[in-house]
Amino acid sequence: MKYKNEMTMIVKSLSENESFVRSSVAAFCLPLNPTIDEITEIKTAVSEAVTNCVVHAYPNTVGDIVIKVKITEKDVKISVSDRGVGIDNLEKAIEPFFTTKPEEDRSGMGFTVIESFMDSFKLERNKGAGVTVHMTKHIGEKNIQMVGEENAWAR
């Protein structure tokens, strides 16, 4: 697959970097002309992935979070990766309301939010340490469908 553009950024697992990453990824996607809903969904999914790294991957320490974004004509492919403590049970981790930090009032909905806002979602263990969240968003498909429906009413 040929990409129109791609970027990689590395930030420290500090909570203040979550908003920077979210905004940077959103700005990088703008050439695809996403709707406000699409860009909001991308920003929310990226926020959840980065927050998971900050809260869970590096407890009591600071590490690197690697964000890669690739765009094609209609797709945004995003990966958020850490080299932290990892996740023991990936299947359990993606269940709604599952959290390893209930004492911190965590809702356990991060992966559920990502999965609901993105068109594809995959969670994988990294070799050595950590986890990578892979997600893809198709841009413009809802717009095309809506235009077709409007044209049907005009007939």
3-state secondary structure of 138: strand
Tokens 């940077």 locate to 24
Tokens 């299947």 locate to 91
Given 22, 38, 52, 115, the catalytic residue = 52
How far, in whole angstroms, is CA 104 from its chain's centroid?
22
Which residue type, as a one-letter code, is found at position 60? N
**Range of the structural domain that residue 99 is part of:** 5-154
| Arithmetic mean of pLDDT over the chain | 83
Tokens of 81: 């990766």
Instruction: Read off the CATH number of the domain in which 69 is found.
Output: 3.30.565.10
Q: What global pTM score does this model have?
A: 0.80
**141 catalytically annotated:** no
**106 catalytically annotated:** yes
Given 106, 124, 126, 143, the catalytic residue = 106
Given 18, 38, 48, 115, the catalytic residue = 48
Tally the domains of the chain.
1
pLDDT at 151: 47
**18 catalytically annotated:** no
Which residue type, as a one-letter code, is found at position 112? T
Q: Count the helix, strand and coil residues of the chain and give each as a percent rounded to the nearest 5.
A: 45, 25, 30
pLDDT at 35: 95
Q: What is the pLDDT of residues 58-97, one digit of tens each?
A: 988 999 999 999 999 899 999 999 999 877 765 656 655 4
